[in-house]
Amino acid sequence: MNSQPPAPIGVAVVGAGYWGPNLVRNFQGSSAFHLRWLCDLDVERAQRVLGDYSTVRVSADLDEVLADPDVHAVAIATPAGTHLPVAMAALRAGKHVLVEKPLAATYAEGLELVEEAGRRGLTLMCDHTYCYTPAVLRIRQLLADGELGELHFLDSVRINLGLVQRDIDVIWDLAPHDLSILDFVLPPSVRPIAVAAHGADGIGAGRACVAYLTLQLSNGAIAHIHVNWLSPVKVRTAIIGGSKRTLVWDDLNPSQRLSLYDRGVDVASPEELEDEQRRDILVSYRSGDMVAPALTEREALRTMVDEYARAITTGTPALTDGRSGLRVLEILQAASRSLAEGGTMIKLDERHMA
């Protein structure tokens, strides 16, 4: 295990495109970090992100940044295809690494990063930002505490009139958010065991622009994810049904993001009946109250940055560590295979999901 870095932790952000400026802003606002470098091939773009009066250094040379002994951690916000070489260089330079989703372009590449970080005793964390929203953190706690009862189903919708990507389909673009949330909130005893994917390319983009993923869970429950670049309306919802209560998450409703319903179906099967009589089970419908749990609004990225600092200083895995990123990659690759095979159900490797 490497010696602990001094406080605040010297950090460099690699990538000044879409996501990099958000990382810059949150690292600059964190007392746990000291932002020392912004690295981007477009130096002028990086300078515009920082402003005219910033003391943060700018470079187009990753090696120059990694050679700085005052840099103890790196945050990578570059295209997925570059994650392996950039993150591997940082790890081999002895730096802790935070990587934008997905962890890597393939499971094999992600595994290389996880193993390298493990050998060097360094933190490897995946920036699954949605997991750090107040709503998702509360959902995770509700499921862990058994407030919903036994999980029966999860239905997630992430649709909008979005940017059609040139190098990836809608599954690899949008589903990592939902899959990382699923991985984050599921109780430890429940895991995905198989996935099927169906998609369509109605505009001739050469890749799926609309897709549906169906996941079988180890407890017999089912999860369904709808991702779509072509919807004229933006929807970000999830419904999580349990044996006790059902939770509805509407991410676009800031005044009531979570609603908890004491409504559902109760099934009673008297123990004294013979097996052949159990077909006459008793079904009743429960119609109780709805409550909206109060949430303290806080930027998810700030919470994620705090978690990165905690993992580095304590030497313990982050809530969304490299292995959580691997589990997401496992499902994405299996979904791509299913899509290519016309929607066949693909079993997930138990060793990968552990």
For residues 288 and 139, membership in a common domain is answered with yes
For residues 343 and 269, membership in a common domain is answered with yes
For residues 197 and 342, membership in a common domain is answered with yes
Going by pLDDT thresholds of 50, 70 and 90, the confidence category of residue 19 is very high
Region 74-94 average pLDDT: 96
Region 152-166 average pLDDT: 92
3-state percent breakdown (helix, strand, coil) of the chain, nearest 5: 35, 30, 35
Q: Which residues pair with 283 in a beta bridge?
A: 267
**What pLDDT does residue 240 have?**
97
For residues 97 and 136, membership in a common domain is answered with no
Q: Which domain covers residue 278, as residue numbers?
A: 131-296+331-353
Average pLDDT, the chain: 92
Region 226-232 average pLDDT: 97
Window from 2-11, 78-87, 135-144 with minimum mean pLDDT: 2-11
320 lies in some domain: no
**What pLDDT does residue 334 have?**
97
Summarised one tens digit per residue, pLDDT across range 260-281 is: 998 666 666 556 555 555 555 6
End residue of a domain, out of 122, 155, 187: 122
For residues 225 and 161, membership in a common domain is answered with yes
Region 144-170 average pLDDT: 93
Q: Is the pLDDT of residue 232 over 90?
A: yes
Region 341-352 average pLDDT: 86
Among 53-57, 162-166, 338-342, the range of highest mean pLDDT: 338-342
**What pLDDT does residue 270 have?**
57
**What pLDDT does residue 309 have?**
98
**What pLDDT does residue 66 have?**
98
Beta-strand pair 73-76/96-100: parallel
Summarised one tens digit per residue, pLDDT across range 237-254 is: 999 999 999 999 999 999
Percent of the chain with pLDDT over 90: 82
Element housing 153 (H / E)? strand 151-161
Question: Which two structure tokens, joined as six digits, stand for 91?
Answer: 């790890």
What are the backbone angles phi and psi of residue 264, rounded to the nearest 5°?
A: 170, -160
Q: Is the pLDDT of residue 340 over 60?
A: yes
For residues 169 and 241, membership in a common domain is answered with yes
End residue of a domain, out of 122, 145, 178: 122
For residues 206 and 84, membership in a common domain is answered with no
Going by pLDDT thresholds of 50, 70 and 90, the confidence category of residue 347 is very high
**What pLDDT does residue 196 have?**
98
**What pLDDT does residue 3 have?**
60
Percent of the chain with pLDDT over 70: 91
**What pLDDT does residue 276 have?**
54
Residues 6+ away with beta carbon under 8 Å from 208: 169, 170, 171, 199, 200, 201, 339
Region 94-110 average pLDDT: 96
- For the chain, the domain total comes to 2
304 lies in some domain: no
Q: The CATH number of the domain where 41 resides is what? A: 3.40.50.720
What are the backbone angles phi and psi of residue 279, rounded to the nearest 5°?
A: -65, -20
324 lies in some domain: no
**What pLDDT does residue 110 have?**
96
For residues 155 and 290, membership in a common domain is answered with yes
**What pLDDT does residue 147 have?**
94
Separation between Cα atoms, residue 156 and residue 240, nearest integer Å:
9
Region 207-212 average pLDDT: 97
For residues 224 and 337, membership in a common domain is answered with yes
Region 200-209 average pLDDT: 94
Under a CB-based contact definition with an 8 Å cutoff, are residues 143 and 185 in contact? yes
Summarised one tens digit per residue, pLDDT across range 48-64 is: 999 987 899 999 999 99
Cα distances (Å, whole numbers) of residue 117 to 61, 177, 258: 22, 23, 37
